[in-house]
Structure 1
C-alpha cells in the first residue's frame, strides 16, 4: 500500500496536471479565437476601404489600384489580395494576384462572408466577400483576402509561449505540492520519531507538541505505550518468578537422586532426565524473556564489563582443567540488550567452547560496521561441514560423548533473534575448531521470536 506521502504527492501532481491541462486548453482556445477575430476585423476594415474606393471609381474599375495605397497589393503573391466582380461579370484584381483569381461563394451573399480558401499558388488564405449595391444601382462582388501564413506563425508562437509558461507553472505546482505534503506530514514524521525516542526513554508523548487533528492519536499512543510497558514488565516478572519457583523443587530432586546414587542405586538415567528438564525449563523461560524483550530495548548494557567478569570466571575454570583462555575486548563497548540476556548467551557459548576445546578458547569483542561483533573460538573438533544447520536445531547434538542437553546454543539463538541480532557457525581460522560469530546491530529494535519448526 502506498504511503501517505506518496498518495498526497501523486494526488497533488495529478490534480495540478489536470488543472493545468484544462486551463491551457481554455486559455489557448480563447487566445486563438481572439487572434482570429482580430485578423478578421482587419480584413473587414480593408474590405470597407475597397468598397469606398470602388464607389468613386465604379465607372473605371481598372483604375481602382491607383486609389488603394498599399504596396502589398502591388507586389505579386505578397499574401494580400483584393478582387471585384462587375455587374457584367468582368473580374478585376490587385496586381498581387498576378493572373490568378479567387472563387466567390455561391449564392452571392449580401452580408460579409468570411472563408478560409486556397489562393494563388495554392496558398491558404482568409477571404471576406460581400455583394454590394452602389448608389447608381449597380451590383458588385467585392472580395478581400490575406495569407494565413502570418496567422499560423502567430498561433504557433503563442502555443510555444503558453507551453513554456504552463511547464513552468506545472513545475512550480509540483514543488508546491511537495512542499505542502512535507509540511502537512511533518507532524506525523515527528510523531514517529518521538514514539521511538519515548519508548527508549520510557516517557509519554506531549499532546500540545502536535496539531489538534493529531492530538487524539497521540493520546491513544500514550495509552498503548503504557499498556504495552505494563504487560511486558508483568510478563518478565512472571518469568523470573517462575524460574525462581522451579529452582527449589529441582534442587531437592537432584539432591535426592544424588543420595540414592551414593547408595549404589543407578540414577544416571534419572539425573540425565532431570538435566534435560532443567535445560528445557531454562530455554522456555529464556523464550518468555525473549518474547518480551521490548521492555529492555531502552536499556544499554556495558558489554566490556560483562566480558571482564566472564574472563575472570572462565579463566579460572580453564586453568582448573589445564586449559587456557584468551580475551580481547575493545574498551567502552555498549549494546542495546538486556544484561541478563546477553550474559546468558555468552555464558552458554563459553561453556560449550570450554567443554569441547582441546586446550584453548578465545573471546573477542569489538565494534564492527554499525554494531558490535562477538567472536568465540576454540581448538576442538568443530562441526563437520554441512552439519551446521543440525547443530542449530533445538537439542541437536552431533556428539553425545560429552555431558549436556544440546539446548545451550538454541537458547542463545532464541535470545539473539528477539533483538534482531545474528549468530553464525564457522570454522575458526585461528584454532581450526568452531567459531561462533555474533553480530549485534547498533540500531536494533526488538522483534518477535520465530516459532521453532515442528
Structure 2
C-alpha cells in the first residue's frame, strides 16, 4: 500500500488538509473570541463612563444623579450590572444586583480583556470590568471604584454557537477538500495511466514509439522509453538481418550438398536428405524467430484461419477416414500474425491427422482476457511422463512417423513469443489434447531461446 502513489498522495493531502483545518479552526476561534470580548469590553467601558459622568459630590458625599436608562440595570438579574465604591465605604449599585454587593478588593483581573470574575444574583457567574477614577470638587479629589459587569453566559453563548456552526462548516469543508484531493490524485496520475496504456500498445505492436503529448513532468520518462524502444528496434533489426543472412547463406551450401548426396547409396542418400531438410527447417525457423515480436500486430480471424487449415488437411483426413468436429466461436479474433498462428495450429492439426483413428475435435473460444484453441483426437495419446519430451526440439516418440521432431517445439516457441501457453493433456475421447492459450491484449515478446 505504501508503494502506491495514489495512496501517498491521498495520505499527504489528508494530513495537509487536516493540519490546515486545525490551524483555521483555532485561528477563527481566536479571532471570534477576541472580537466578542472586545465588544463586551467596549460596552462595559461605555457603562463606566456613563456612571462616572453622573457622579456628583454634595457635602463631601458622592452620589449618582441618575442611573443609566438601560432597563436591564433596573431589573433583578437583568443581565447588566454596575456598582460604585465611594471613599467613605458606601456602595452604590444597580437594582439588577439586588442584594449582592461586589467586593471592594480581592477581585483579580484575568484573561486578555482584564475582566474579573464574581458571583452575581442567583449565583450566576458574572464578568466585571473595574475602573478607578477621581472626582474633584473644590480642589479635593475623591477616589472611587466603578464596576460594570455582565453574565458570563452572555459571552459563552455566542462562542458556543460559533463553535457549533464552525464545526459544521469545517466538516463540510473537509469533505469537499478530501473529495477534491482524491480527484486531484486521479488527475495527477492520469498521465501515468496513459503511459502504461501506451507501453501496453507498444508491447502489442500497435505503436512503435510513445506519444509525447504528456505533461512536462512525465516527458523525461517518455523520452527515455522512446530512446529504449529505438535502441531495441535497432538491435532487433540487426538480429533480423543477421538471421536472414544466415538463412540465405545456407541455401547454396545445402543445395550443393543435396546434389552431392544424389550419388550416395539409397539408404545413405535418404538419411543425408533427412539431415539436410532438418538444417533447412532450423534455418527457416531461425528467420521466423527473428521476425516474431517486430512486425506490427495483426488481428487474425480464427474462424477463417481454422477453416482454411482444415480444408488443406482434409484430403489427408479423408484418406485415413477421419472426421472433423469443429466449433469456432463466431467473431473470435487474436492479435497475432496469421502465418505464426497457421504454423502453430497447423502443426498440431497435422499431428492429429497422423495419430487419430476416427475423429479430430477442434474448439476455439475466448473471453475478455484469453482466447483458447483446443485440439483433441482419439489416437493413442502421449503418456504424462513423455509429454515434456515431445516439446523438446528434435525429439519424437515414434521414429516410424518421420519428421524432424520440431512440430510441437515450434508451436511452444510461437506461444511463448506471443505471451501464451501450450499444454498437453488426455482428451475425453482418449487421445492427445493440446490447448493453446493466447492473451487477448497482445502479450507478444521476443523468444528467450530462439532455435
Q: Answer yes or no: same fold by TM over 0.5.
A: yes
CA distance in 1, matches of 2:263, 2:323: 34
- Give 1:41's aligned residue: 42
Greater shift, 209-218 or 132-141, is seen at: 209-218
Q: CA RMSD in A?
A: 4.8
Q: Secondary structure at the match of 2:312?
A: helix
CA distance in 1, matches of 2:262, 2:240: 33
CA distance in 1, matches of 2:155, 2:81: 16
CA distance in 2, matches of 1:187, 1:288: 34
1:308-319, aligned counterparts within 5 Å? Answer: 308-319=307-318
Q: CA deviation at 1:247?
A: 6.1
CA distance in 1, matches of 2:198, 2:415: 26
- Give 2:335's aligned residue: 336
Q: CA deviation at 1:99?
A: 3.7
- Give 1:346's aligned residue: 345
Q: 1:413 to 1:102 in 2, by over 3 A?
A: farther
Q: 1:98 to 1:282 in 2, by over 3 A?
A: farther
- Give 1:238's aligned residue: 242
Q: Deviations over 1:336-360 (max 9, x none)?
A: 2122321221123223333433332
Unaligned runs of 5+ residues in structure 1 are none
Q: CA deviation at 1:46?
A: 1.7
Q: Secondary structure at the match of 1:296?
A: coil
1:353-392, aligned counterparts within 5 Å? Answer: 353-369=352-368, 372-383=371-382, 390=388
Q: Does residue 436 of structure 2 align to residue 438 of structure 1?
A: yes
CA distance in 1, matches of 2:4, 2:108: 69
How does the TM-score come out when normalised to structure 2?
Answer: 0.74
- Give 1:29's aligned residue: 30
CA distance in 2, matches of 1:9, 1:107: 53
Contact 1:424 1:436 (8 Å CA) reproduced: yes
Greater shift, 345-354 or 321-330, is seen at: 321-330
Contact 2:247 2:287 (8 Å CA) reproduced: no
Q: Deviations over 1:259-293 (max 9, x none)?
A: 76735x7998x999x5997599479738944xx63
Contact 1:202 1:298 (8 Å CA) reproduced: no
Q: CA deviation at 1:17?
A: 5.2
CA distance in 2, matches of 1:254, 1:361: 37
CA distance in 2, matches of 1:392, 1:440: 21
Q: 1:35 to 1:16 in 2, by over 3 A?
A: same
Q: CA deviation at 1:42?
A: 1.0
1:169-180, aligned counterparts within 5 Å? Answer: 169-170=173-174, 173=177
Q: 1:19 to 1:448 in 2, by over 3 A?
A: farther
Q: 1:396 to 1:167 in 2, by over 3 A?
A: farther
- Give 1:145's aligned residue: 149
Greater shift, 313-322 or 325-334, is seen at: 325-334
Q: Secondary structure at the match of 2:372?
A: strand
Contact 1:80 1:146 (8 Å CA) reproduced: yes
Q: Deviations over 1:54-97 (max 9, x none)?
A: 43799476x88x73433333444444333333324344544433
Q: Secondary structure at the match of 1:41?
A: helix
How does the TM-score come out when normalised to structure 1?
Answer: 0.74
Q: CA deviation at 1:416?
A: 1.5
Q: Secondary structure at the match of 1:89?
A: coil
- Give 1:447's aligned residue: 445
Q: CA deviation at 1:39?
A: 1.4
Greater shift, 69-78 or 278-287, is seen at: 278-287
Unaligned runs of 5+ residues in structure 2 are none
1:266-281, aligned counterparts within 5 Å? Answer: 274=275, 281=282
Q: Secondary structure at the match of 1:301?
A: strand
CA distance in 2, matches of 1:18, 1:438: 57
Contact 1:382 1:432 (8 Å CA) reproduced: yes
CA distance in 2, matches of 1:412, 1:234: 25
Q: Secondary structure at the match of 2:444?
A: coil
Q: Secondary structure at the match of 1:362?
A: strand
Q: Does residue 327 of structure 2 align to residue 323 of structure 1?
A: no
CA distance in 1, matches of 2:178, 2:308: 60
